[in-house]
A and B are shown apart, each in its own frame.
Chain A
């Protein structure tokens, strides 16, 4: 296969990864890793480098649109970024001592968890009573809805912060945004309405990924020949996905993709267990 053919096929694949990532809410990075390793037989370390870049591109691209609507809670994001960046750096250190097959198995497990999280019931309620710490840290805010702004308060700041650290470690170790873990921390622990938690999580993914990206760049995980089609393809796919989401209701599509992703996750775990990475 020539470089030209490889680039064109990978560009198309990355476009689909970005599209699926955007429609399911999983993010492009998560789909890029199995695409590169299972389909193109690329070493998982190059795949992780490319996925990190895809996560940053996705996050910055989508966040710019959401921030305009005023849903993102910038203070909450900044506070939790202490946890995620610290975790990401820790993850990048742990990665040196982790065999690639273990990373593949871990990735499969996170993928299974993420697929399950996409299908869960979402927290729509806004708390009116918050914890003391949430007031001290000025995390309580409001967000616009068609019927006017809704105020919300939050609690369990410590638990949320802890889950965020784990999300950061996964992000640094696997090169993904780990949006599912971030939403778990905000939705389930801190009781934030899901519109705020998904947009704030998206906003944070770029910074979390950037915290470990330079380390991976210096370790040679980011190959220009792979980065070029992956970054452009995922961005294009995410852009199409965002346009489609305003016109179609993706709930059926979401279920189909989540089942497909479950099989992909099982294959990653199976291959990792049989030392194929």
Chain B
């Protein structure tokens, strides 16, 4: 009995270590992509004058759809590269949840598999549910 508890705890600690590494890897990758896009952006547009950020343009802006970002990415548009980095940053915590889902499945923790699925469903709904309005 005692042995069972200790192996269970070791598994939990391993999962935590991997989650920690995953988060760090995601943030570093996203920052590097943003940095690359940002440097290209400064090289190409740095000398232009600052856009009117006090006027909100909203959806007239470029690179606000997945399609637009990927198309711009493959033509090396600096703004699209920055937005791709932004997407990577947003995806990092979501990947963490997906990883936890697998960890709970391996531990056969049904209750937490369901809880994790609910969280994923909410995020999925907001991302693809046309909440944009």
Contacts and interface: CB of A to CB of B under 8 A. Distances in A.
Q: State yes or no: do A and B come from one complex.
A: yes
Interface of A: 1-7, 40-43, 45-46, 53, 56-57, 59-61, 63-65, 67-68, 70, 72, 74-75, 78-79, 81-82, 85-86, 88-89, 92-93, 96, 137-138, 206-207, 209-215, 217-229, 231-232, 235
A78 B101 CA distance: 10
Given A81-B119, A89-B125, A225-B51, A67 B20 contact: yes
Interface residues of B, number: 70
A53 B47 contact: no
If over half of B's interface residues share one DSSP class (helix, strand or loop), that class is named, otherwise mixed; here it is helix
Nearest to B49: A2
B54 A211 contact: no
A235 B82 contact: no
Contacts of A75: 112
B50 A218 contact: no
B106 interface: no
B6 interface: no
23 contacts: A1-B50, A3-B42, A3-B46, A7-B46, A43-B54, A56-B93, A61-B27, A64-B27, A67-B20, A68-B16, A78-B97, A88-B126, A210-B93, A210-B123, A211-B126, A213-B90, A214-B90, A215-B127, A217-B87, A218-B59, A220-B56, A220-B64, A225-B79
A224 B82 contact: yes
A220 B24 CA distance: 27
Interface string B98-126: 00100000000101100110110011011
B93 A82 contact: no
Nearest to A86: B122
Nearest to B109: A138
B102 to A, nearest CB: 13
B37 A78 contact: no
A209 B89 CA distance: 11
B37 A224 contact: yes
B47 A226 contact: no
A197 B59 CA distance: 38
Contact of B111 (A61, A72, A137): A137
B133 interface: yes
